Structure 1
Amino acid sequence: MVTTPRSKPTPKAARWNNALAGTPDPREIRKRALIAAAGRTFGVKGFHNTTLDDIASALSVTKPALYRYVKNKHEILYECHRLAIGMAEEALATAQAEGATALDALRLFVSLYIRKMTSELGTCVVLTEYYSMTAQHNALIQQRRRVVDTELRALVSRCIDEGAIAPCDPKLAVFFFMGAINNINRWFTDKGETQGDAIAEAFADHVIHGLRPLKVSKRSNR
């Protein structure tokens, strides 16, 4: 008697994107997984076209399961922004603590912040969409952004004082590199040719080289 081999069952998608393995705080990890999945879904479909059903599907859970962590889509949008500004705050604190000079700290901040954003938030293009948040949520995010902005301007001023970069307007310098960094999520994909670590190093190099004083070669008059 010939027996036919049984076909292997199709593996089921991991619930919560397998974010619970070995974590001491499942609720917080689930919430971060929700935010990351929502950010990626917003990036594909747009904030206004994305439903909670879409986000639940991306996490392989039911929509009622989402209500244990967020009330609605606008709260998810706020959490995306809150996670992003938290990453900036963490990166800046680490850079200021570990950077031997102001220039080292600035480069380290750029690299760390981009690594954090690309590894967890990915294509979360809604980070540039402030007006879809509630007025209360927007005020909270903007307050924290102003603190980071002030500290970055002070860091650029230190770089100038130490002679590491050319004299410039610190406000415009911060606008220059933070504008570039915050737009990475518009085009970055983890399936692309260039991964987050490489992008972080390239952007850090571009920021530093862009702010350093130009070496003017002396040419003899003929």
Structure 2
Amino acid sequence: MSAPEAPFLERTPVMLSALEHYDYCPRQAGLILLEDGYADDASTVRGTLLHHRVHEPGEDNRPGVRTLRALPVWHHGLGLTGVCDVVEIYDDGTVLPVEHKSGPYTPGGPADVQAAAQAMCLEERLRTTIDSAAVYSSADRRRHTISMDGDLRARVVGTAERVREVMDETRLPAPAADQRCRRCSMNITCMPKVLANHKKFDKLRGALFSPAPETDWDD
């Protein structure tokens, strides 16, 4: 394995998993990256159990296709690094990364960004062009194919830059305080309802840190 080139070393590396977190909710990504604030719930535990097999490095060979599991990848130009759950390499040269998810698949959702980023990393590592990626959802036991078009690639690049800004500036993004918060395992840590209500938050903060009344010591 060759050493990363200079552009990668000079930029803050961004994990592939952070792209999905940020695309879903910037504050969620910030809490994980800056405060190690990840919290589990039933959904995340199911995801962890699902990934036990695909996160074990290994290789399978079937007629016409070679399957790699837990493959480390990176992209020097974008400063991305991470692990592909599954990569299928076909005899005709086709390369297909397959990201595994425990929950239902949402077309155009955050999982697409993570799978596309894996494909872009593989393109650099394998010196090839990848036309599609896939997300496997255990909820519906289906593989969903994603087209690697220009818009999705630009979305990966933009998301990577925004994640890097959060890490470099060490500043948490504002809470979403919308329907996403109800099913987020980090709701308690994030406190979206409190922090999104700026007037209430400023009032509570002012009461907590208000200076003590001045005392006339000459009396």
TM-score normalised by structure 1 residue count: 0.25
Larger proportion of strand: 2
Structure 2 length as normaliser, TM-score? 0.25
